[in-house]
Structure 1
């Protein structure tokens, strides 16, 4: 449990507009040992020194906070703290950028960027998805609360953009060339991408936000339009690819059936 006054202490730091609880704890899917993920939504110049002062007061031991951008282009930065023996992650989010991405999503636009910790790539639509699924903890101006209400409605244009099977077919075509050469590593990469494409497409079709790769297979399997036994079939694909051209070709045939079930003609 985080200190009750921590969100208010964070929004008192220059630049911090709001604080939200994200991750599995916000959605009620956490385990007892799950981290507390705090999104620090900021605007303009963030007073990292002011945040560091708060961290020094509440953390169990020394902690070093980053400047915005130090963790990569999409996960801005933050810090890993332990408070009362519990892991509490502070994660920066540029609120103006979140608004811009939300406008893109409403227009049916998204991008996928390289980001450490995201093997599928960081989908820009995760930004509004995080807001939609968060629990607002401190929001003096009400801005994040209003944005959360707006993002509760999944944009139809974004759903149409993500619910498209052509890339899955394209990836399987490329994987077939790798399979013929016995290139199991390349086939494995293609299949992970295919499963991710299906997960995003099926979530979009259901009007449900998918914000990262963790748990995406099981979450997709629970959707009403997911192919039968989606989780078992996806895990089997990724866990038993094979090594020889014959084995790899058989795996790709299984993958094609899963894609066809997700995108029936």
Structure 2
């Protein structure tokens, strides 16, 4: 951790970088053997990417590709993949003013879902606020990120209501759409509908429990551990995908099982 704080301090000295935080499984205390160290670089333009490249090359001993803001897509702003002292360390940009706007939307019960490479369910905008709430601040000379972190620790009730409301209407709707694909044996379409439906349920269960969920990875398992989850939620959700097959009968059976799960979750999060 001391090495990370040293790197974070040097990053915070670069023009444009406001604060640096550790995110992901390392911040939550649930890393796997090969987990990366995700460093969120909270910045305001202009960001001195030339200085970032020089620091990256110094830390790794070789030139490193460091993107401009927006280099990785509309929601994961960009950054760099490094290997430092034998460990994978990712730099991930976050425009701090955009994070603040998202936080204001969260408090008003507004969110959006954006397309982003590597995120098949899409990036839910409130993940920005969740990253701040769950991260560990490593460098914050002005104290701005630390103050924002204190705010985001309290899950906004309007956001909770909005996420639950979306799941309660959209999950049954998209399963009804999937029925048409099942009749044609269109496994590709049915699987996509099921993925969306289960993702909505995972977000609704987390919202009901006032828990931040940051992305799709592990979201179903984590949702299944929440008090409001139906018994066996994660196993049942995964079993739906395992049982798809390619014919109308097996697809229909999978949709029946998914429908039961949707009904149960919708009842539980309504309270």
- Taking structure 2 as the reference length, the TM-score comes to 0.96
1:240 to partner: Cα distance: 2.0
Extract unaligned runs of 5+ from structure 1. none
Native 8 Å contact 1:78 1:92 kept in 2: yes
Q: Which residue of 1 aligns with 2:195?
A: 192
Kindly report which structure 2 residues correspond to 1:216-231, keeping only aligned pairs within 5 A, or say none. 216-231=219-234
Question: How far 1:4 sits from its partner (Å)?
Answer: 3.9
- The answer on whether the counterparts of 2:243 and 2:250 sit within 8 Å (CA) in structure 1 is no
Residue 166 of structure 1 aligns with which residue?
Answer: 169
Paired residue total: 265
Q: Does 2:91 align with 1:63?
A: no
Query: 2:100, 2:145 → 1: CA distance?
Result: 10
Q: Counterparts of 1:222 and 1:142 in 2: how far apart (Å)?
A: 34
Is residue 179 from structure 1 mapped to residue 191 from structure 2 by the alignment?
Answer: no
1:92 maps to: 93
Greater mean deviation of Cα atoms: 28-37 or 12-21: 28-37
In the alignment, what sits opposite 2:136? 135
TM-score (norm 1): 0.98
Distance 1:3 1:148, change over 3 A: closer
Task: Measure, in 1, the Cα distance between the counterparts of 2:209 and 2:259.
Answer: 22
SS across alignment from 1:129: helix
How far apart, CA to CA, are the structure 2 residues paired with 1:61 and 1:221? 44
| C-alpha separation in 2, matches of 1:3 and 1:196 | 33
Residue pair 2:241, 2:254 contacting (<8 A) in 1 also = no
Higher helix share: 2
Residue in 1 that maps onto 2:148: 147
Aligned Cα RMSD in Å?
1.0
- Conserved 8 A contact 1:18-1:139: yes
**Displacement of 1:251 after TM fit?**
0.6
The match for 1:236 among 236, 239, 252 is 239
